[in-house]
Amino acid sequence: MDAVIDKPNRSNQVIGLISAGHFLSHFYLMSLPPMFLLLKAEFGVSYVELGAAMTAYSFLGGFIQAPMGFLVDHLGPRRVLLAGLGLNIIAITLIGFVDAY
């Protein structure tokens, strides 16, 4: 009996895109803590202050989730996912140019 190989369908593509966006969102957030030792010395701040910045970022993400869900229902998931991922990339990139806490 020959194995049946399913061709990727639309839902697999959507799940893959959402999964990639979700992965990148966590990846960007978790790329900063390994650099805390360097950031602490560079900016002359404490680990508490660095943790507070990470906490603020996480809380902001939590507060935005419900309104973004309504926006997804109104505009469609593709637009919101791509816009959100793009804004996240821009925001994390701009962190690299910050020279003060």
pLDDT tier, 3 (very low <50, low <70, confident <90, very high otherwise): low
3-class state of residue 50 by DSSP: helix
pLDDT digits over 49-92, tens only?
A: 999 988 998 898 889 888 988 998 999 888 887 888 888 789 88
Average of per-residue pLDDT values in the chain: 85
How much is the pLDDT for 50?
93
- Give the integer Cα–Cα distance in Å for 101 and 98: 8
How much is the pLDDT for 49?
95
- Give the integer Cα–Cα distance in Å for 62 and 27: 16
- Domains of the chain, residue spans: 11-95
Compute how many other C-beta atoms are within 10 angstroms of the C-beta atom of residue 50: 19
